[in-house]
């Protein structure tokens, strides 16, 4: 419907489109552009391919890349083997406590992977790990015997898998829940048993989601920094992300860091394209109306074994790590088991009263979380309104720019922003502004996609009525559309805030002593070995994110798709 001309009313949508397009170019294209410039330049700024020659011929770069690929493949396979059966059990069977299991999987999903790696250090370090101590105490083994050694490649695969399998689980479980019951009913009517139907009907229909989950797990592992930095570096080997980070240690080598970041960026783009094609394939369609109600598959006595297996997986990703952090935070000696005699609150008093760094880090994290959540939500709202309702030239480009950061790994974005803002005309390095840019850029795609989906669920008639009565597009957005989308806006805000609190990959490149957020402080304390302070701050982070998520889950509309952070 065309708006009737009204005297004195100015349509600023074109100017707003240009303004937000410029803002998105600043967020996305500028750091990527500087990344390309530095990757193809030497220290004097002359064009060269020498950086890539070093990258693909020097073993100090080739070995981390091969290690990262091996890690990603291993984690993908393990996640599929674990998450696919769990997804089927939770989505399609009568196993008890299915809802509780799903919620606990979400708890492992929101646990920062670097914090999970620290928790498993407390549990399975060869000398001081609680599990090794308990085993030596129970069996009388010598002090040098270690049942578990987390500082190995296998240990790294195990820990990363613990916090990556939820991606596969959610994709598979959601796909299984959407499969029409009519197809399984038809199989049963033709004589197929439950096992035959599952093997020949249900599993093939869920296979695209499983393949997409494997790609997500591969990509998540390839771009992960925290867990490899905590477990691989003490073991004496690098992955590609930790190698990029090491290039910023003294003496810095930004050209090589940029060259090493570009293959990671290209790999991410390729895998995301493959994931979109897999999930975009339609394997079935229901003809003739609604599908039947999905009836849970009865497991009989096997349901208790299925529950035990699910709880065993959750024990590795949730119960044991959280117990280790709790033990270290409240035990007088963090590496010793907690008893009534060793219970203490002195670690909390020391961290929050005697140290200044935690207070500064928590304050920085709150400022960045509030600012990034507010700016990101507003930016996503305006861009989604322009692309969902607007017909002006450039809306498709705006939509592309809003979703493009999903293909930029956090460590790569950090390198690009460092290169872009450590020189004129605008120098932001050393301020909270550069971290704010990083956080908004990283979380923009998820926020934009969530709000764009919400716009599609709102009829445009109210907006058209507002425009007929003389309101501008901005006034209509502020007074009509935004109130309707209020729950979704609040849920998006909460999602960005939580994601900022747990983000490490970009922040570890961009922080300074005065701008250090909580995630980087925990990472630094792990290098110094202060287990008590790490556990106190880790529990603080978990309580903070859990409180925000509990509040967000009470908002109608939160479950519409903001559970996932960027892949």
Which DSSP string do the residues of 264-295 spell out, in sequence order? Answer: HHHHHHHHHHHHHHHHH-------SSPPPPPP
SS (H, E, C) 161-186: HHCCHHHHHHHHHHHHHHCCHHHHHH
What is the spatial distance between Cα 525 and Cα 358, in angstroms, rounded to a whole number? 10
Contact between residue 496 and residue 449 where contact means Cβ atoms under 8 Å apart: no
The pLDDT, as a whole number, for residue 6 is 47
For Cα atoms 88, 89, 94, give the angle at the middle one, nearest 5 degrees.
Answer: 130
The pLDDT, as a whole number, for residue 153 is 96
pTM of the model: 0.86
Strand-pair partners of 399: none
**C-alpha radius of gyration, the chain, whole number:** 25
The structure tokens 């497991």 sit at 299
Contact between residue 477 and residue 385 where contact means Cβ atoms under 8 Å apart: yes
DSSP 29: I
The pLDDT, as a whole number, for residue 562 is 36
Contact between residue 494 and residue 558 where contact means Cβ atoms under 8 Å apart: yes
Name the region of 140 (left: φ>0; alpha: ψ -120 to 50; beta: rest).
Answer: left
What is the spatial distance between Cα 357 and Cα 432, in angstroms, rounded to a whole number? 16
Question: Each residue of 518-551: b (16+ CB within 10 Å) or e?
Answer: bbbbbbbbbeeebbbbbbbbbbbbbebbeebbee
For Cα atoms 429, 372, 431, give the angle at the middle one, nearest 5 degrees.
Answer: 20
In sequence order, what are the residues at sequence separation of 6 or more whose Cβ sits closer than 8 angstroms to the Cβ of residue 342? Answer: 331, 332, 333, 336
What is the spatial distance between Cα 378 and Cα 482, in angstroms, rounded to a whole number? 10
Strand-pair partners of 331: 343
pLDDT of 56-65, one tens digit each?
Answer: 999 999 999 9
Neighbours of 294 (CB within 10 A): 17
Q: Which two tokens stand for residue 210?
A: 């499983």
Angle between helices 59-92 and 302-314 (to 10 degrees): 150
The pLDDT, as a whole number, for residue 567 is 34
What is the spatial distance between Cα 524 and Cα 450, in angstroms, rounded to a whole number? 34
Angle between helices 226-235 and 518-528 (to 10 degrees): 10
What is the spatial distance between Cα 71 and Cα 272, in angstroms, rounded to a whole number? 19
Contact between residue 254 and residue 418 where contact means Cβ atoms under 8 Å apart: yes
What is the spatial distance between Cα 490 and Cα 549, in angstroms, rounded to a whole number? 11
Domains of the chain and any CATH numbers: 345-567 (1.10.3720.10)
Ordered per-residue pLDDT tens for the chain, 567 residues: 444 444 445 556 567 767 878 888 888 889 999 999 999 998 888 899 999 999 899 999 999 999 999 999 999 999 999 999 999 899 888 899 998 998 888 888 778 999 999 999 999 999 889 999 989 888 888 878 888 999 999 999 999 999 999 989 988 888 887 776 666 666 666 565 666 666 666 667 777 888 888 888 999 999 999 999 999 999 999 999 999 999 988 888 899 999 999 988 888 888 877 777 766 654 444 444 445 566 677 888 889 999 999 999 999 999 999 999 999 999 998 888 888 889 999 999 999 988 889 999 999 999 999 999 999 999 998 888 878 766 556 677 888 888 888 888 999 999 999 999 987 778 899 999 999 999 999 999 888 888 887 877 776 766 667 666 766 666 777 777 778 777 888 888 988 998 899 899 999 999 998 999 999 999 999 888 888 999 999 999 988 888 877 776 665 544 444 333 333
Q: Which two tokens stand for residue 427?
A: 């120098």
The pLDDT, as a whole number, for residue 201 is 66
DSSP 199: I
**Phi and psi torsions of 431, nearest 5°:** -120, 165
Contact between residue 505 and residue 220 where contact means Cβ atoms under 8 Å apart: no
Q: Which two tokens stand for residue 217?
A: 């797990």
Angle between helices 432-456 and 395-403 (to 10 degrees): 120
Angle between helices 59-92 and 50-57 (to 10 degrees): 70
The pLDDT, as a whole number, for residue 283 is 47
pLDDT of 132-172, one tens digit each?
Answer: 998 988 888 887 888 899 999 999 999 999 999 998 998 88
Contact between residue 565 and residue 449 where contact means Cβ atoms under 8 Å apart: no
Grouping H, G, I as helix, E, B as strand and the rest as coil, residue 524 is helix
């Amino acid at each position: 419907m065309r708006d009737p001309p009204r005297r004195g009313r100015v349509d600023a949508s074109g100017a707003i489109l240009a303004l937000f397009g410029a803002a998105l170019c600043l967020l996305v294209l500028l750091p990527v552009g500087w990344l390309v410039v530095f990757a193809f330049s030497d220290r004097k700024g002359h064009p060269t391919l020498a950086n890539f020659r070093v990258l693909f011929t020097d073993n100090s770069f080739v070995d981390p890349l091969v290690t990262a690929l091996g890690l990603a493949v291993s984690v993908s396979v393990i996640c599929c083997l674990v998450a696919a059966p769990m997804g089927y059990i939770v989505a399609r069977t009568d196993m008890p406590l299915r809802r509780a299991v799903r919620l606990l999987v979400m708890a492992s999903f929101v646990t920062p992977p670097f914090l999970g790696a620290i928790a498993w250090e407390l549990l399975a370090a060869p000398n001081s790990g609680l599990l090794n101590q308990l085993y030596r105490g129970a069996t009388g083994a010598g002090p040098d015997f270690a049942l578990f050694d987390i500082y190995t490649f296998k240990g790294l695969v195990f820990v990363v898998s613990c916090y990556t399998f939820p991606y596969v689980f959610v994709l598979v479980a959601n796909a299984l829940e959407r499969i029409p019951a009519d197809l399984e009913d038809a199989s049963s009517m033709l004589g197929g048993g439950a096992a035959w139907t599952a093997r020949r009907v249900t599993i093939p229909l869920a296979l695209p989601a499983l393949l997409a989950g494997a790609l997500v797990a591969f990509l998540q592992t390839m771009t992960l920094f925290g867990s490899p930095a905590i477990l691989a570096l003490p073991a004496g080997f690098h992955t590609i992300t930790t190698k990029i980070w090491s290039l910023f240690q003294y003496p810095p080598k930004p050209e090589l860091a940029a060259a090493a970041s570009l293959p990671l960026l290209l790999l991410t783009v390729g895998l995301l394209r493959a994931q979109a094609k897999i999930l975009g394939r339609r394997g079935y369609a229901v003809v003739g109306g609604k599908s039947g109600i999905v009836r849970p598959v009865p497991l009989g006595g096997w349901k208790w074994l299925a529950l035990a297996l699910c709880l065993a997986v959750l024990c590795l990703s949730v119960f044991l790590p959280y117990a280790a952090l709790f033990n270290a935070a409240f035990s007088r000696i963090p590496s010793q088991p907690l008893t009534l005699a060793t219970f203490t609150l002195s670690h909390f008093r020391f961290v929050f009263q005697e140290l200044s760094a935690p207070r500064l880090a928590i304050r920085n994290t709150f400022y960045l979380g509030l600012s990034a959540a507010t700016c990101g939500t507003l930016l996503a709202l305006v861009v989604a309104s322009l692309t969902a309702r607007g017909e002006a030239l450039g809306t498709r480009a705006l939509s592309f720019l809003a979703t493009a950061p999903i293909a930029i790994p956090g460590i790569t974005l950090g390198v690009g922003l460092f290169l872009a803002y450590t020189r004129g005309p605008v120098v932001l390095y050393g301020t909270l502004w550069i971290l704010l840019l990083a956080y908004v850029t990283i979380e923009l795609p998820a926020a934009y996609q969530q709000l764009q989906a919400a716009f599609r669920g709102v009829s445009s008639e109210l907006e058209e009525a507002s425009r007929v009565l003389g309101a501008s597009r901005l006034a209509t957005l502020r007074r009509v559309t935004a109130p309707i989308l209020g729950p979704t806006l609040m849920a998006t805000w909460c999602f960005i805030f939580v994601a900022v609190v747990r983000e490490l990959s970009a922040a570890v490149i961009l922080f300074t002593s005065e701008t250090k957020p909580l995630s980087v402080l925990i990472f630094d304390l792990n290098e110094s070995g202060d287990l008590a302070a790490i556990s106190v701050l880790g529990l603080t982070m978990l309580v903070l994110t859990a409180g925000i998520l509990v509040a967000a889950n009470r908002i109608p509309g939160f479950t519409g798709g903001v559970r996932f952070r960027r892949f």
